[in-house]
A = this chain, B = another copy of it.
Amino acid sequence: MPRSGEEVRQRLQQAALELYLERGFDQTTTENIATRAGVTERTFFRHFADKREVFFDGEAQLRDVLTRAVAAVPAGTKPLPTLRAAFHEAVPLFEQNRPVTEPRSRVIATTAALQERALAKGAALVRALTDALRARGVDEQLAMLCAQVGMDTCTIAFRGWMDDPSEGLHAQLDRAFRELRLAAAALR
């Protein structure tokens, strides 16, 4: 698949990451990125819809892995256990991407515009998980709630793992879902 344009695309992503790390997102122009990648500013916008999008390219892959993992869970499993299993399935992907994800997260943490886009990407993932649950026969309202809540729980686990990788992501996931179960049991 990789036409000659795929190389340019990767160079643009690399250049953007470098520049955002060096001088920050706001101090980097799209022209800076294009120049470092050896292309024109116009070409940058042919590959990425805007200055933020260049930072969120792996999301599609994660979405595919997660939705496939949801579909692979044995039928009859309840929504939240299904999601927990799916997230465990995606752990290798997270671990493998960590060297890229870690500096990326640092940049995002200091840039409001990137935080917004990250939230939007998370919302898209929640929509995909909602659809995956509905395909398993889960009621729409329940699917929305569980997809959102499951995603939050995974995010909490992920953040804990980023701060301190020693426990491992699997353990963080189990801990977060256990906390969720206990917290929700206090309702009623």
Q: Which residues of A contact B (CB under 8 A)?
A: 78-81, 84, 112, 115-117, 119-120, 123, 141-142, 144-146, 148-149, 152-153, 155-156, 160, 176-181, 183-188
Number of copies: 2
Tell me the smallest distance from the CB of A138 to a CB of chain B, in Å: 10
Tell me the smallest distance from the CB of A102 to a CB of chain B, in Å: 20
Tell me the smallest distance from the CB of A124 to a CB of chain B, in Å: 10
Residue of B nearest to A176 (CB): B145
Residue of B nearest to A152 (CB): B148
Q: Given the complex, which residues of B lie within 8 Å of A181, measured CB to CB? A: 184-185, 187-188
Q: Given the complex, which residues of B lie within 8 Å of A177, measured CB to CB? A: 187-188
Q: Given the complex, which residues of B lie within 8 Å of A153, measured CB to CB? A: 145, 149
Query: Please, how many angstroms separate the alpha-carbon atoms of A79 and B183 in the complex?
Result: 7
Residue of B nearest to A112 (CB): B120
Partner of A123, one of B115, B142, B156, B160: B115
Q: What are 7 A-B pairs at a CB distance below 8 A?
A: A80-B183, A80-B187, A119-B123, A141-B156, A145-B180, A178-B187, A184-B185
* Further pairs besides A84-B187, A145-B180, A149-B180: 12, Cβ < 8 Å: A78-B186, A79-B183, A80-B187, A112-B120, A142-B183, A145-B176, A148-B155, A149-B149, A149-B184, A177-B187, A180-B187, A181-B185
Q: A181-B184, A183-B142 are in contact. Are A156 and B160 (CB under 8 A)?
A: no
